[in-house]
């Protein structure tokens, strides 16, 4: 994960997931929903009892981290980092520390996806609390491993990862609160914003590998450290703007979709029982031939 590709995969994955959750939240707010409704897999893929109520979100939580684990072990092609201990060395040292830290992080997000699948298929509404608890655990593990991940790094890398830990911690805290206070719209919005901050900052780390200015970041330059913090503050505003843009697009879609689905005369009308019986007799006469055909 200490490469451009290693940061790009989780960054893009988190960004797409954050946009997905922002769209769900925006539509729920526009429709006045009290519960977020996650789209389920198509009926053809839900024949098995375990997967009949599984959402796209749960599947993505399993697939994307799995790709990350494969990349940690076998990318670039030809390498193999599955080994944890160098048995040839008499000291039996641990090897590939960073890769095993990343694999552990990905593994807990896979665990969160598996918990979602089992909960959605069998546990019903109360299982939502278990889903949020497993998701919060994944972020707490990420923060805990990040503390040791920044050891023996340059001062610039330490600053970058410390700033990454800030939205991760608050996102884990929000998910923890959601265990006891589920289905609360302000928490939905806060979670969307923190997810967008986290994912956009992950992409900012990717920019440090290929600087837009063409000049590499310098760990020994205090000016670079200062601007790194400034950029993080800008990402806070950028995430809010992205959520507002998502809400605006969803609002336009919702208004147009509502106007398309409205058809004249589609509203429920009460049968005129007070009128003469001629209309009722006429309706019965029209219904009899249909019954005979059936």
Q: Sign (positive/negative) of CA torsion 29, 31, 32, 33? A: negative
**Residues forming beta bridges with residue 40, ordered by sequence position:** 55
Q: Does residue 119 have a pLDDT over 60?
A: yes
| Dihedrals phi, psi of 131, to nearest 5 degrees | -65, -45
Residue 219's pLDDT is: 86
Residue 266's pLDDT is: 42
Residue 48's pLDDT is: 54
Residue 4's pLDDT is: 73
CB 93 within 8 A of CB 85: yes
pLDDT in tens, 43-76: 555 455 555 578 888 888 999 999 999 988 988 8
Name the band, by pLDDT with cuts 50, 70 and 90, for residue 176.
very high
Among 17-21, 75-79, 89-93, 252-256, the range scoring the smallest mean pLDDT is: 75-79
What distance in Å separates the CA atoms of residue 60 and residue 113, rounded to the nearest whole number?
Answer: 8
Residue 261's pLDDT is: 55
Domain locations in the chain as residue ranges: 4-248
Residue 124's pLDDT is: 64
Count CB neighbours of 71 within 10 A.
19
DSSP class of residue 43 equals G
pLDDT in tens, 26-49: 999 998 888 877 777 765 554 555
């Amino acid at each position: 994960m200490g490469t451009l590709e290693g940061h790009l995969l989780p960054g893009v994955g988190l960004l797409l997931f954050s946009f997905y959750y922002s769209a769900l939240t925006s539509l729920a707010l526009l429709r006045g929903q009290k519960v977020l409704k996650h789209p389920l897999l198509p009926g053809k893929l839900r024949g098995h009892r375990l997967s009949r109520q599984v959402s796209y979100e749960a599947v993505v939580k399993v697939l994307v981290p799995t790709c990350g684990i494969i990349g940690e072990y076998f990318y670039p092609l030809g390498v193999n980092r599955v080994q944890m201990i160098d048995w040839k060395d008499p000291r039996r040292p641990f090897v590939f520390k960073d890769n095993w830290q990343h694999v552990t992080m990905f593994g807990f997000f896979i665990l969160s996806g598996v918990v979602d699948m089992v909960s959605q298929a069998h546990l019903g509404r109360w299982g939502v609390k278990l889903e949020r608890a497993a998701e919060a655990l994944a972020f707490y593990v990420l923060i805990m491993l990040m503390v040791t991940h920044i050891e023996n790094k340059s001062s610039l890398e330490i600053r970058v990862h410390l700033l990454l830990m800030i939205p991760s911690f608050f996102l884990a805290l929000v998910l923890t609160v959601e265990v006891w206070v589920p289905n609360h719209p302000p928490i939905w919005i806060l979670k969307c914003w923190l997810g967008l901050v986290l994912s956009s900052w992950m992409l900012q780390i990717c920019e440090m590998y290929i600087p837009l200015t063409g000049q590499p970041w310098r760990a020994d330059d205090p000016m670079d450290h200062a601007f790194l913090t400034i950029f993080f503050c800008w990402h806070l505003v950028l995430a809010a703007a992205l959520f507002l843009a998502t809400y605006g697009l969803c609002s336009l879609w919702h208004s147009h979709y509502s106007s398309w689905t409205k058809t004249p005369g589609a509203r429920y009308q009460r049968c005129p029982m007070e009128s003469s019986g001629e209309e009722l007799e006429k309706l019965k006469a029209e219904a009899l031939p249909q019954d005979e055909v059936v």
